[in-house]
């Protein structure tokens, strides 16, 4: 009996001491089910425009490309992939075209780079016209601002106007698999790029004022920015473990504050604070803690539980920090916290609801039904809606909430 009590006491003391070394644990996961008096508006079944019906070969999907008012849909088949561009504000199909069966779509409003195994076609996102192409091209890694970056067998930076010619080349950039929100070698708002031989200016290939040590084999070392003026030096020595992130002063190529171990970091655009999200829960590799740090000093401000998935990394909404946490029963809850104090501001009362996306300060949540919540107004509910089709997926694309049937091919746009 006394042995059990003594062991429990030691465990509690150890946990308290561990939390003290990690920063101030704001609060543990709340009791479940949450107690709330949130007013729920009655669903409006007539809140969707559509459907726009597309053909489906196997399964409809949305391309992960950020365009203004345009959603790109992919229909993958054995012999080809059909791509459809829909203008969401007018609910009209702009163009449809067929490409090779396995493609990758990269780019932005300046142009799309549609890459197959050994070819890249440059496509106008509004007309679907193929404006240029190049063959015997491999390893498309990034496209935007009128530029295409390929990374196999070496890094080659090309313009979309002449994709068959390298503007400049360098040793291939390291492939950093374990960085949760590492979107490729280009960073700094599309101005800089990691190579296997240091950080370069994307447009010219000239060496940057910092980062000559970027590249190489393990430990893989790259530079990354959560915001253009918040650059981190990142060492990813183990593809199965968290990396180390260190705030970096780019003009002098020196550290600003100490390094932290995390799965990824997000930097606030509004305040000189960043959040390091780790995966320190030994029982759940997708769960850990969020720790807030002052960028200039490395001071840790607060610590809170976190749960993140590739479809929903933590982010900022104004002065609040939006994340998901795992409850004591393993249920997933979405919440916001004050960035400076870590105190909870709001949380969504329904467990395991999917995050549809964010438009401005409005968070959209739901599965079979959905709702919008203005996080700038204490999470006040702005709208509710039902899923328009039995096989529909919902997400935010180009500033609109859409629903699309993965098998039926029916596309809907939420009325605003």
3-state secondary structure of 7: helix
**Cβ 126 vs Cβ 93: under 8 Å:** no
3-state secondary structure of 6: helix
What pLDDT is stored for residue 350 in this prediction?
Answer: 78
What pLDDT is stored for residue 269 in this prediction?
Answer: 86
Strand duo 138-144 + 130-135: pairing: unpaired
CB half-sphere exposure, 292, CA atoms < 13 A: 25
**Cβ 306 vs Cβ 289: under 8 Å:** yes
What pLDDT is stored for residue 11 in this prediction?
Answer: 41
Report whether the peptide linkage leading into residue 61 is cis, meaning its omega lies within 30 degrees of zero: no
| Rounded (5°) CA angle 150-153-156 | 35
Residue 196 has pLDDT above 50, yes or no: yes
Beta strands in 117-262 (DSSP E): 119-123, 130-135, 138-144, 147-152, 155-159, 168-170, 186-187, 192-195, 198-201, 220-227, 230-236, 243-249, 254-255, 260-262
- Comparing 204 with 243, which gets the higher pLDDT? 204
Helix (H) or strand (E) holding 17: helix 2-22
Instruction: Name the range with the highest mean pLDDT among 2-6, 78-82, 150-154.
Output: 150-154
CA 323 – CA 307 distance, rounded (Å): 7
Indicate the pLDDT class of residue 324, thresholds 50, 70 and 90: confident
CA 66 – CA 398 distance, rounded (Å): 6
What pLDDT is stored for residue 174 in this prediction?
Answer: 83
3-state secondary structure of 219: coil
| Mean pLDDT for the chain overall | 84
CA 402 – CA 411 distance, rounded (Å): 7
Task: Give 385-411 pLDDT, tens digit per residue.
Answer: 999 988 899 999 999 999 999 989 999
What pLDDT is stored for residue 328 in this prediction?
Answer: 56
- Comparing 265 with 29, which gets the higher pLDDT? 265
Q: pTM of the predicted model, to two decimals?
A: 0.85
> In the predicted model, what is the mean pLDDT of residues 135-158?
93
Indicate the pLDDT class of residue 223, thresholds 50, 70 and 90: very high
> In the predicted model, what is the mean pLDDT of residues 99-103?
88
* Domains of the chain, CATH where assigned: 1-30+263-352 (2.40.10.480), 39-59+354-416 (no CATH)
Q: Which long-range contacts (CB under 8 A, 24 or more apart) does 86-95 make?
A: 86/52, 86/411, 88/397, 88/398, 88/399, 88/400, 88/402, 88/413, 89/400, 91/49, 91/50, 91/52, 91/413, 93/52, 94/70, 94/126, 94/127, 94/128, 95/126, 95/127, 95/128
CA 121 – CA 252 distance, rounded (Å): 40
């Amino acid at each position: 009996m006394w042995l059990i009590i003594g062991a429990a006491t030691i465990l509690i003391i150890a946990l308290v001491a561990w939390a003290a070394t990690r920063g101030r644990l704001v609060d543990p996961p709340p009791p479940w089910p949450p107690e709330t008096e949130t007013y729920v508006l009655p669903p409006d079944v007539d809140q969707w425009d559509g459907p726009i019906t597309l053909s489906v070969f196997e399964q409809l999907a949305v391309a992960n490309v950020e365009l203004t008012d345009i959603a790109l849909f992919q229909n993958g088949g054995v012999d080809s992939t059909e791509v459809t561009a829909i203008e969401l504000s007018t609910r009209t199909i702009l163009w449809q075209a067929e490409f090779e069966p396995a493609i990758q779509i990269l780019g932005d409003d300046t142009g799309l780079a549609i890459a197959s195994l050994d070819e890249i076609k440059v496509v106008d996102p509004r007309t679907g016209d193929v404006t240029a192409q190049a063959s015997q091209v491999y390893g498309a890694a990034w496209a935007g601002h009128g530029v295409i970056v390929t990374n196999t067998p070496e890094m080659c930076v090309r313009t979309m106007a002449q994709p068959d010619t390298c503007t400049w080349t360098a040793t291939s950039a390291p492939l950093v698999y374990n960085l949760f929100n590492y979107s490729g070698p280009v960073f700094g708002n599309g101005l800089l790029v990691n190579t296997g031989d240091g950080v370069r200016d994307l447009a010219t290939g000239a060496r940057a004022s910092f980062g000559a040590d970027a590249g190489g084999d393990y430990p893989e070392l790259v530079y990354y920015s959560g915001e253009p003026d918040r650059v981190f030096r990142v060492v990813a020595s183990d593809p199965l473990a968290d990396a180390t992130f260190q705030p970096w002063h780019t003009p002098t190529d020196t550290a600003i504050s100490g390094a932290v171990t995390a799965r990824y970091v997000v930097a606030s655009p509004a305040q000189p604070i960043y959040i390091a999200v780790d995966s320190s829960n030994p029982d759940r590799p997708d769960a850990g803690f969020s720790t807030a740090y002052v960028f200039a000093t490395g001071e840790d401000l607060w610590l809170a539980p976190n749960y993140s998935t590739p479809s929903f990394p933590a982010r900022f909404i104004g002065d609040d920090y939006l994340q998901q946490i795992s409850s004591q029963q393993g249920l997933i809850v979405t919440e916001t916290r004050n960035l400076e104090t870590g105190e909870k501001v709001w949380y969504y009362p329904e467990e395991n609801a999917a995050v549809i996306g964010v438009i401005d300060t409005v968070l959209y949540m739901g599965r079979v039904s959905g709702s919008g919540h203005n996080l700038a107004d204490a999470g006040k509910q702005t709208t509710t809606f039902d899923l328009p089709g039995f096989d529909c997926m919902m997400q935010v694309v180009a500033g609109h909430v859409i629903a699309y049937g993965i098998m039926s091919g029916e596309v809907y746009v939420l009325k605003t």
